[in-house]
Structure 1
Amino acid sequence: MIITEITRNIQGEQINKRLDSLAIEWYESTKRIQRLRTAEGMDIAVKLLGNTSSLQDGDILYEDEEKIVVVTIKPCEVIRVMAIDFFRTAFVSSEIGNKHLPLFVEANELLMPYERSMYEWLAKQGFDPQRCERQLLRQLNANVDPKHHQKMKFSTKNIPLIINDKAFMNSQAPAAMNED
């Protein structure tokens, strides 16, 4: 079976059908094209293109009269850091981003897949990292839609530059007088 779109998400719904779980790892949720197998053995080819670019926990991929196929993100070993204040959160987020590691947010916690070197660095910096099992569901993403800049209508091309700084104006005055 080929899945090209997500029907809906099961959260908040009362379902009276048999659930067939499609358990995936967190890093598989962003793959657009993949072959997977449900708990009941149903082979599924996922081909998500366009606006639907990732699978979320609870997404319904298939439904008939008897059953539905629901995505489940498997828990994994993670590093958990409590977001204490804005500056410490910004600092640790920046450092994690500089290392190109994925970062997830859950309430006031920063989560990332466990990596020994990152765990040791966080401990050395005094962030009190915790090692635990969690689902990685809400990834921070700083990427912008590739067409974002095309959609913007604002341009500064025709706005004149006006400098209203007395120190700058005074330093330019003698040069302007010498030109005459």
Structure 2
Amino acid sequence: MIIETIIGNIQTLPSLPPHIERVYMASDDLVKRIQRVVTDHGRELGIRLKEAKELADGDVLWMDDHNAIVVSVLPEDLLVIKPVSLKQMGEIAHQIGNRHLPAQFEEGEMLVQYDYLVEELLQQLAIPYKREKRKVKQAFRHIGHRHD
């Protein structure tokens, strides 16, 4: 089966069929428009999206009256950073930006993929954080730029 469009997301669709198959993906794979995957029931799929759209946790790739195939993002090793002041937020955002590390923001938390150097920096700056496995809603994206 070749998947060319995303039907919707389980968070926004009005109803789902009684049975759901999952395609487990690392967040890095969410940005790939063309890939081969296997569901948790062993069904092989080819994904070849017509639009340049990233996949997201909960995206429905295929659905009929009895079954749906849904993307499920695997948990990642993250640093969950919770600065207590604007100064702390500025300091850590500046340092992470200088390292060209992508970050995501959810409900007052800054999420970055685990890096022991960032963890050491957080300890040195006394910025509250915790290391945890968590699903992210979208891929961490590196944004390229140049120093001219």
Letter in 1 for 2:80: R
- 1:9 & 1:90 partners in 2: Cα distance? 34
Letter in 2 for 1:36: V
- 2:61 & 2:118 partners in 1: Cα distance? 35
- Structure showing greater radius of gyration is 1
Partner in structure 2 of residue 68 of structure 1: 68
Residues 40-74 of structure 1 show CA distances to partners (whole Å, capped at 9, x for unaligned) of 1111122235342x111110001123210001111
Q: TM-score, normalised by structure 2?
A: 0.83
Length, aligned pairs only: 142
Which structure has greater strand proportion? 2
Letter in 2 for 1:11: Q
Structure of greater relative contact order (alpha carbons < 8 Å, 6+ residues apart): 2
Which structure has greater helix proportion? 1
- 2:94 & 2:139 partners in 1: Cα distance? 15
Q: TM-score, normalised by structure 1?
A: 0.70
- 2:142 & 2:78 partners in 1: Cα distance? 21
Letter in 2 for 1:67: N
Which residues of structure 2 form unaligned runs of 5+?
144-148
Please state whether the residue corresponding to 1:29 is helix, strand or coil.
helix
The alpha carbon displacement at 1:133 in A equals 1.5
Partner in structure 1 of residue 117 of structure 2: 117
Query: Given the alignment of the two structures, is residue 20 of structure 1 paired with residue 21 of structure 2, yes or no?
Result: yes
- 2:73 & 2:130 partners in 1: Cα distance? 21
Partner in structure 2 of residue 175 of structure 1: none
Partner in structure 2 of residue 39 of structure 1: 40
**Aligned-CA RMSD value:** 2.1
- 2:97 & 2:121 partners in 1: Cα distance? 14
- 2:113 & 2:22 partners in 1: Cα distance? 23
CA separation of 1:83/1:32 partners in 2, compared to 1, >3 Å: closer, same or farther?
farther
Letter in 1 for 2:136: L
